[in-house]
Chain A
């Protein structure tokens, strides 16, 4: 007869408010095989744990069931307590009577009855539990950082400075991300490039950082400590080993009118280009879609139409026949730092749930620009050399209207969240504008000014004191009227409808994750929210981990983040990784599948259904070395313990440790008994 202890937790009032915990303990005490049953206010507290440990020793328990919250919360706590009392930790299980019972029911009697059933199920399961031992796996002390914006740069530098190697993958031709596009940064108004470019150079020169720019992660295998990642190095058509970054090719390129991505479409670039002068690496890329030679080749022309860059290059670095290359890297941990992009108000939207702003002309009104475009106008390296001139006719706008919360906090347009940084950068924009255009008037339509942060509220107050007019309300409509843009709004503070003639309008558009993040997340097996932001493992306590062990997250791909937040997250992820790398091997839970070699018929249904590629083929030979059969084998490092193979196996030859058929069926039978 089993000797199982049942410990029912009140969780303060969280459980006992709806469930009669004493009655649960009493009912379980009468169950065969239960040697001890009691309830307590906080089972996870020190006295609570001592209660369990004492009972294990005194009652000689061979199994423990804690009826409390979700195992996600405290399974580790109670297993550790059981282990400290000498019980194999895997003989301790939790019955969830909080999330799955007390929190979701009102009827005390029915909830109590349900709680009793839930605990009985787990008791029956524990009767079939076996002692298990953790699995030990080696760790590759090398990290992959995806994304070379400020978050990725910070994470790479911190890990590399900590003594471990880093592979930094950036999909654009240069690292630097959005921060390199900014003019000045809040709340100090220091020059963005001045603080960023030294860090970019540091990355490039760091002996332990391998920079793969113009590259993207293609696929991933393996598991924490043992990832194998395949990276596509897109063809630059410029040989990095030969190019010295002299820039002669870009000067001679005849295609000069291509809208520059770096200048947010306000400036132009050539077809062979370096995105900006301080780019790292300072090696050009040929934009196939706009290059005359490649366009000619695409049309099937036998003779190349251009080739000026190759003729110009004295080092023979131009290679029109270069192809994408796939490289594999072995790493032990990964940081996702892919950053953000801005929502646009156009009619055609990249996602089903998004809507554009027809009332603002769907982005068709000239001189209605977004925040990044304003950054380029204000930047000394920008298309106007830092003069605020509107794109349509180059005039200096005398009235600039800034609209906050465009896309953000607008469920009707598909985005409910606050983008967090806009209040601050709009305040900054008004100051930059009024510092440059002394007779200019900045007007801001806002809903709330959200300026929580060190020196932040003071900064927005300064913007108002320096003359920016803040009107509280959303704008209903905007339209072009001759040279001006009519802005029809309302100031809810004065209670007046307001129609302004603006020379330029700047939209503080929402921050969204990069397009395509979902497929990257799927490649990495990390979860993401409805908008594509990568989910952290726990919103408070594990903010830079993901639900996949060994994969971490930093910066604006997790939620809207400003620079200080992104840097802090990146350093946090780096320190998590360095702590992971401080051990030669790591142990993981033994909840993995095992194949019974005697009964496995080698049908490999399990191989087909396994999402993680954990099933391997193993040859079984007799003593003479003759092949008897090929059977399935589980790679314990890769197996995630989902149990799909177990449910699929026709000969019942695979069982998941901790969730064997005997355990699961006894639990189910318990409610019908």
Chain B
């Protein structure tokens, strides 16, 4: 796994000396079983597979605090992105359902219209996640503020966007 990550991200897990500065500053570490330094450690131990059985990597917000302060320029945020990419490629993610649904709905929107249609995103997300009721009451307030458009607008170069998706992802990979 460490080799695969190095191939994908150019980052050698071995360059981490486990100082824990990444986890010290991580806003999500309290919610994760494997904070950033443990992720690096599992890669060093050749036990990266363990990360695919757990939701920790999906809780990273990519705030890059770890990366900014890493003394060894290990870039844990990039490593975590790499792990997520591998997990998706294997169609094997243990992401929390809602986080996964949001990500998929988001990409569907872009593939469909070239841009994000936020109302559509919310509807699609609700269907995908089954999280039907939260925030429903705030929708009217959003409309009142003119913050939600009701119909999507598709860009002219939508073929470009679809070609990009097809070139980057294997069929159906994003979902």
Contact = CB atoms under 8 A, between A and B. Distances in A.
A497 B24 contact: yes
B71 A409 contact: yes
B37 interface: yes
B78 interface: no
A447 B24 contact: no
A472 interface: yes
A194 to B, nearest CB: 37
A476 B25 contact: yes
A477 B25 contact: yes
Interface in A490-514: 490-492, 495, 497-498
A489 B19 CA distance: 10
Interface string B112-152: 00000000000000000000000000000000000000000
Contacts of A405: 19
Contacts of A413: 71
A498 B23 CA distance: 10
5 contacts: A412-B73, A447-B19, A472-B20, A473-B20, A477-B24
Contact of A489 (B17, B24, B37, B73): B24
B21 A476 contact: yes
B21 to A, nearest CB: 4
A409 B71 CA distance: 8
Nearest to B68: A359
Interface string B28-41: 01100001011000
How big is chain A's contact interface, by range? 20 to 34
A488 interface: yes
Given A474-B19, A490-B37, A497-B30, A412 B72 contact: yes
Given A476-B65, A490-B37, A492-B18, A412 B71 contact: yes
B42 to A, nearest CB: 13
The 7 closest A-B pairs by CB, nearest first: A476-B25, A473-B20, A490-B24, A476-B24, A474-B21, A490-B20, A474-B19
A411 B24 contact: no
Given A475-B21, A475-B24, 11 more contacts: A412-B71, A473-B23, A474-B20, A476-B21, A476-B24, A476-B69, A488-B24, A489-B24, A492-B23, A497-B24, A497-B35
B114 to A, nearest CB: 39
A490 B23 contact: yes
A475 to B, nearest CB: 6
Contacts of B161: none
A99 interface: no
B71 A497 contact: no
Interface in B53-78: 65, 69-73
Contacts of A473: 19-21, 23-24
A492 B22 CA distance: 11
A359 B69 contact: yes
Nearest to B30: A497
Given A411-B71, A474-B71, A490 B21 contact: yes
Contact of B29 (A359, A411, A475, A497): A497
Contacts of A359: 25, 69
A427 B83 CA distance: 40
B30 A492 contact: no
Residue from A447, A488, A492 whose CB has the most chain B CB atoms within 10 Å: A492
A235 B20 CA distance: 51
Nearest to A415: B71
A430 to B, nearest CB: 20
Contacts of B37: 490, 492
